[in-house]
Amino acid sequence: MTETTLLMIKPDAVQRALIGRIILRVEEKGLKIIGLRMIRLTKSMVDQLYDIHIDKNFYPVLKTFILSGPVIAIAIQGTNAVKVIRKLAGITNSPEAEPGTIRGDFGLDLTKNIVHASDEVERAQYELNIFFRKDELVEYELINEDWIK
Ligand code: CMP
């Protein structure tokens, strides 16, 4: 099932010059990047992205962190893209994340955990809408697509 999801590279990974290595993992897996944007989020965009966490005790720390520098939003399409990107990201708490995953290889902190990945198809649509207009997502064929899906 072809799905579209959001992977956001967080401010810690941008500062640590990990953008290229994270994008490489998405491409190597065979998923297709259909949107890419660097942005410094506004407070209200952070509240939208993390609406389900607004009442949690860690939210002020999370919000300050996400506002601390630019992020990269990546719209990604492919077979089971939502689940596949979640697996590539690894579990939320970086020190516990499996080696081989993005968080497992690059992270040591629960808040500064390198990336955010949408957790289901409908949620991905909601989160992508925060970063991209519909006409900013590019539909195209990759020449090797039939060898991958
Ligand atoms: P993310 O996958 O972007 O979703 C919510 C974010 O809140 C999470 O990654 C972490 O960066 C941050 N966070 C901080 N503390 C916690 C916590 N106790 N549980 C879950 N997420 C947390």
In this predicted model, what pLDDT tens digit does every residue of 3-45 receive, in sequence order?
A: 999 999 999 999 999 999 999 999 999 999 999 999 999 999 9
Count helices and strands (H / E) in the chain. 8, 4
Percent of the chain with pLDDT strictly greater than 90? 98
**What are the tokens at 27?**
């491409």
Residue 149 pLDDT class (50, 70, 90 cuts): confident
User: How far, in Å, is the centroid of ligand 1 from the Cα of 149?
Assistant: 32
pLDDT of residue 140: 97
Concatenating the DSSP letter of every residue in 54-105 gives: TTSTTHHHHHHHHTTS-EEEEEEEEETHHHHHHHHH--SSGGGSPBTBHHHH
**Is residue 110 within 6 Å of ligand 1 at its C-beta?**
yes
Q: What domains, with CATH codes, occur in the chain? A: 2-133 (3.30.70.141)
**What are the tokens at 46?**
């952070």
Determine which residue's CA is closest to atom 20 belonging to ligand 1: 92
**pLDDT tens-digit series, residues 63-72:** 999 999 999 9
| Prediction pTM value | 0.97
* Nearest atom, ligand 1, residue 61 CA: 14
Rounded Cα distance between 4 and 16, Å, is: 27
